Chains A and B, each alone.
Chain A
Amino acid sequence: MADTIIIEVSRFHPEHDAEPTYQSFEVPLRGDWMILDALNYIKDNLDGTLAFRWSCRMGICGSCGMMVNGVPKLTCETLLTNFAPGPIRVAPLDHFPVVKDLVIELDDFLGKLQKVRPWIIRKDERPPAREFIQTPEQLEAFKQYTLCINCMLCYAACPVYGLDPNFTGPAALALAERYNLDSRDQGAAERTDVLSQHDGIWGCTVVGECSVVCPKGVDPSLAIQQYKLSATKEWFRTWLLPWGNK
């Protein structure tokens, strides 16, 4: 195996570039290095102007998502050697406006997250003096959706979001479903307004790419399908059975 590898990094500086361009760097090809280690090597030794986000370097803070050879990845847990002999192309996540180099804008997601009301909604004003009882089975019903780290890989993979930025998108929908399925929550009806709109769940065409790229094993596609099913039932109940027991 060669002892170096070429990384082509997408560079874009809004103060003087009209379009992003790729710049090549030669970095050591070390067996225990992740893509992020190589980017830090570039930043520290070759070009101090390179901009990218990172923090925990253990796959939990969600900062360092990028396109690696066209696939959305957390760069802190993607081995460099997987791409030998190279070159490797590293670019900002697809479908987001680029701030600079590998840094994207997240405002759209944060707005959508707030819109789906990702907090426990209760009808009673005062919570109990002790914990809500929740069995391990009840926890299991929503647990996988709590594992979302907001890394945005699913948005970068979602072809629907690529075409229609108004689509609420996989992570925000999975988090809405996380609360809907939580035995402590009573807010599903309140969330229906947002989720049932055209750009809510109905935008999803079941491509399933979101679930494939999720680094945490969350299945947003399943959340969306589950929600479509319950929303459809609700719709039938409301409109086709007006005389029924609502």
Chain B
Amino acid sequence: METSSHDILLIGGGGAGLRAAIAIAETNPKLDIAMVSKVYPMRSHTVSAEGGAAGVIGDDDTIEEHIYDTISGSDWLGDQDVIEAFVNEVPNELLRLEHWGCPWSRLPDGRIAVRPFGGMQKMRTWFAADKTGFHMLHTLFQTSLKYGTLTRYDEVFATQILVDDGRACGVVGIELRTGKIRTIMAKAVIVCTGGCGRVFPFTTNANICTGDGMALCYRAGAPLKDMEMVQYHPTGLPFTGILITEAARAEGGWLLNKDGYRFLQDYDLGKPTPTPVFRSMELGPRDRVSQAIFGEFEKDRAFHGPYGDFVHLDLRHLGEHKIESRLPMVRELCLKYENIDPVREPIPVRPVMHYMMGGIHTDIHGATSLTGLYAAGEAACVSINGSNRLGSNSLSELLVFGARSGKSAAEYVTNGYKPANQNHLLAQATDEEHRVEEQFLHKNGGTERITKIREEMQKTMESGCGIYRERASLVDSANKIRELKERYGNITMEDHSRTFNTQLTQGLELGFMLDVAETIVHSALNREESRGAHQRRDFPKRDDNKYLCHSVVHRSAEGPPRIEYLPVVITKWPPGERIYGRDH
């Protein structure tokens, strides 16, 4: 086993992790920073974000309006103190990206251009064509290269967070190239591992989005929050689940059913107009638009395809020039993956699991319940998104809370830190090495294929815990997940080698996903109301008396997870009706 130690360790090298690393280096240039990532940082899933990053910049826009849009978008489950801090800090974060070289799209006079986005009442979404996440990630990654205090452990797969005396003290990881176990000790750990879309069968998420950090923290004793809040994006390509950005609708695209009818008008989202109107019709929030598409499926007003029902996203009236300049990637993806040109044909789309509003429970500084352990980005739940995230708030979130968690951790290790007992950590690491060997590398016999368990998990999550849920479907999924966890103990391994063993990583990821899936199902089962993305057929109304609170889910030694409730922070915006497409 190889051992090393640093001041602060980041798990995950996507947008949040890289932003945190830069924040640490700026807060205290003497700190020794390490970054562990199971992929090279520029492969992280931030790369796939398309539409943009929201931040108030326009003369006609105000901080208050972005706050209100985010709170009402969250169906009042977002914490208002956090949202206020977030909205205030975003513009400066986006400017810093600009100073670091992010190729933001521009107005003719050279200032930053912004575009409308769903659920937002003003134009405030900064964008780099429709490859915003890609450009932000590469800008952050390339900028991070200038800091000599950052040591990267690329393609090291974290399997456990080390904990001593109630404090996070590092990780155990497998170096994929050699299969060597590494113990990387640190005074503080920041988890920025992204989402868990691969728990579901049909998702925009990359192969790597397996909820690793969520499960690592949960196992280490830090609870997760609002895990029932799963976002379906309205427009994914059938079969692949590849995302067609909301920017396509913000630029003026229409959603049509099989009769060519703009059906959103039937779902209390406003009246159709030739050009987009803020917070109306195609610029409604994602939860409501996805639910409307699902409604068309149920009324049999959608198209039937080999991969399920779909509706049309029509961009033809925008013209080739606008599509090419504002939405080049949409065109590229449609041509490559559907063999259609959106300039000439409508795009087939269906709702697709896209984003996890829930995640590792943190406070406004990015600190989890465990001393020395921080989290940011999609892996975390601060929470600004509540029960429904607005499009273009997540790229902004990873910047603001990446930076905040980096600063908090830097201050903690500079001022409040107490050294850990190294022997305790090494003993834990040795145990973890034995676990990995016993469960996977030296495993003989076993009858269950990893692939099979994964597919069954994904299927039960979609059938029981999709856009609409009810008690019976959730109980079925809970039982199924418990069964799969048992069968997981009996997996069969074909690859016992050390070198780049991707069957080992698949096995470890499946273990993480089963834990995360269980927290999603049980949180959804316990919340007996409908709010935002969490729609219960058996409890169709929002219930502020009982559920104006976050679900906080803890791991139990045995049996199902334990759920507690934490009141939502309400400051100036009392819960009200979410109104889209009409005056309020």
Contact = CB atoms under 8 A, between A and B. Distances in A.
B495 A99 contact: no
Given A113-B145, A135-B108, A136-B108, A47 B242 contact: no
A114 B359 CA distance: 33
B538 interface: no
Interface in B296-354: 329, 332-333, 336-337
Contacts of B410: none
Interface stretch (A142-150, A201-209, A226-234, A237-245): A142-150
A117 B148 CA distance: 12
Given A60-B48, A77-B336, A182 B101 contact: yes
A99 B98 contact: no
A113 B146 CA distance: 11
Nearest to A43: B502
Interface string A90-106: 00000000011101011
Contacts of A50: 502
A39 B546 CA distance: 49
B40 A32 contact: no
B526 interface: no
Contact of B451 (A44, A63, A113): A44
Contact of B177 (A99, A114, A119): A99
Interface string A53-89: 1111111111100000000000001000000000000
B43 A55 contact: yes
Contact of B138 (A63, A139, A146): A146
Given A44-B451, A99-B500, A119 B495 contact: no
Q: Per DSSP, are chain A's interface residues mostly helix, strand or loop, or mixed? A: loop
Contacts of B484: none
A120 interface: yes
B207 interface: yes
Interface stretch (A126-134, A161-169, A191-199): A126-134
Contacts of A56: 43, 45, 47-48, 206-207
Interface residues of A, number: 61
Contacts of B263: none
A57 to B, nearest CB: 7
Contacts of B501: 51
Interface in B474-502: 493-495, 497-502
Interface in B436-462: 449-451
B497 A59 contact: no
B240 interface: yes
A43 B96 CA distance: 43
A106 B146 CA distance: 19
Contacts of B48: 56, 58, 60-61
B265 interface: no
A99 B499 contact: yes
Contact of B110 (A49, A101, A133): A133
Given A57-B240, A62-B43, A133 B111 contact: yes
Contacts of A147: 131
Contacts of A77: 336-337
B109 A61 contact: no
A51 B502 contact: yes
Nearest to B497: A15
A185 B101 contact: yes
B434 interface: no
B293 to A, nearest CB: 21
Identify which of A14, A103, A146 gathers the most chain B CB atoms within 10 Å of its CB. Answer: A146
Given A54-B207, A119-B101, A119-B145, A131 B500 contact: no
Given A56-B47, A149-B134, A134 B500 contact: no
Nearest to A175: B142
B449 to A, nearest CB: 8
B110 A138 contact: yes
Nearest to A49: B495
A159 interface: no
A150 B106 CA distance: 25
Contact of A131 (B103, B112, B333): B112
A183 B115 CA distance: 23
Interface in A6-55: 13-15, 32, 43-45, 47-55
B333 A58 contact: yes
Contacts of A105: 177
A5 B495 CA distance: 25
A55 B103 contact: no
A15 B499 contact: yes
Nearest to B496: A49
B264 interface: no
Contacts of B143: 119-120
Contacts of B95: 130-131
Nearest to A183: B110
B110 A135 contact: yes
A147 B96 CA distance: 20
A147 B332 CA distance: 13
Contacts of B106: 134-136, 139
25 contacts: A15-B499, A44-B451, A45-B451, A48-B450, A49-B497, A49-B503, A51-B499, A51-B500, A53-B43, A58-B243, A60-B48, A61-B48, A101-B500, A110-B154, A117-B146, A120-B99, A120-B143, A127-B99, A128-B99, A131-B98, A131-B99, A136-B108, A139-B105, A146-B103, A175-B142
Given A48-B493, A133-B109, A146-B103, 17 more contacts: A13-B499, A15-B497, A49-B497, A51-B502, A52-B502, A56-B45, A58-B333, A60-B47, A61-B47, A61-B48, A113-B145, A117-B145, A118-B145, A120-B99, A138-B110, A147-B131, A150-B42
State the 9 A-B residue pairs at the shortest beta-carbon distance, nearest first. A133-B110, A118-B142, A49-B495, A48-B494, A127-B99, A44-B451, A55-B206, A120-B101, A135-B110
